[in-house]
Amino acid sequence: TGNQWGYGEEDGPSSWYKDYPIAEGARQSPINIAPEEAVYDHGLPPISLHYDNCTSTNISNNGHSVVVEFDDVDDRSVIQGGPLENAYRLKQFHFHWGGKGCHGSEHTVAGKTYTSELHLVHWNAAKYSSFAEAAVAPDGLAVLGVFLEIGDERGGLNKITDSLYMVKFKGTVTDFRDFNPNCLLPSSLKYWTYPGSLTTPPLYESVTWIVLTEPICVSEKQVGGWVYGWVYGYLLSDVLIYLLPKLINYN
Ligand code: SG4
Ligand code: ZN
């Protein structure tokens, strides 16, 4: 078994511990962030992001999410500062979202769920020799989380939504060059941070989470496009039931 996880009633997060016992570990993500209980640390520097225009390579559908990958052979796109000892290289970003009327963020803030959540995944290339090695180390990964909520259109997201039809099916991949994720960031880089894990199996407790307090706005149409324009027509094909599990409710 081992790789048959999903988000349905039988195979959802509450059953992941059977194949992945670390699901009951001490630093599992996501969490509810309680701003009232968060402690302001004057010793923590701001985070700084240095993203190069030219390091994105492709966009793909891995059956759980839409992923944009980056060339990570050098330090052209990195996150540093905040709780991080050194620069961490950008490897990929992906989104989590729900179906119509659902709330798809993984982290919640004082119990509030956002429409969607963007995760920019970075690895500690100063200390480890590969992403795989970093992914199992306690200080191996840094994921920058950004909440998405409904409001004005976000121009930067259109390049992604325009490409989704190319990756309708699980396992499909297409070129995606010159995309700078700066266009998906809010104006403030204020953040919450805590030591956590990957939010999906294998749930390794290797992630320093940096969650931005300010969400970005995307239009209903941009997210609705994901749910209806792109996915709805393909609901019965293999993939998207996995990709957008909550849509099953609207079948
Ligand atoms: C999603 O399933 C992504 O598609 C995965 O990316 C990602 O795995 C996984 O979430 C867990 O990442 O930031 N949410 S998370 O903790 O980044 C990894 C791929 O499989 C290892 C490429
Ligand atoms: Zn994620």
> What would the pLDDT profile of 119-145 be if each residue is shown by its tens digit?
999 999 999 999 999 999 999 999 999
Give CA–CA dist 201/2, Å, rounded: 9
Written as one letter, the residue type at 192 is W
User: Considering the chain, what percentage of its residues have pLDDT values greater than 90?
Assistant: 66
Mean pLDDT (whole number) for 61-87: 93
Task: Indicate the top mutation candidate among 200, 203, 210, 244 to test ligand 1's pocket, ranked by most ligand atoms within 8 A of CB.
Answer: 200
Q: Ligand 1 pocket: which residues have CB below 6 Å?
A: 62, 64-65, 67, 92, 94, 119, 121, 135, 143, 198-200, 207
Encoding tokens for residue 247? 């849509």
Give CA–CA dist 63/190, Å, rounded: 32
Contact 110, 33 (CB under 8 A): yes
Inform me whether the pLDDT recorded for 36 exceeds 90.
yes
Give CA–CA dist 190/82, Å, rounded: 10
Written as one letter, the residue type at 206 is S
Give CA–CA dist 246/232, Å, rounded: 12
Please state the ipTM of this predicted complex: 0.98
Terminal Cα distance for the chain, rounded? 27
Indicate which residue of 50, 64, 96, 103 is catalytic: 64
Q: What is the four-CA torsion angle of 25, 29, 35, 40, rounded to 10 degrees?
A: 70
Task: Indicate the top mutation candidate among 27, 56, 89, 119 to test ligand 1's pocket, ranked by most ligand atoms within 8 A of CB.
Answer: 119
DSSP 240: H
Inform me whether the pLDDT recorded for 247 exceeds 70.
no
Q: Report helix, strand or coil for 211.
A: strand
Contact 32, 65 (CB under 8 A): no
Average pLDDT, the chain: 86
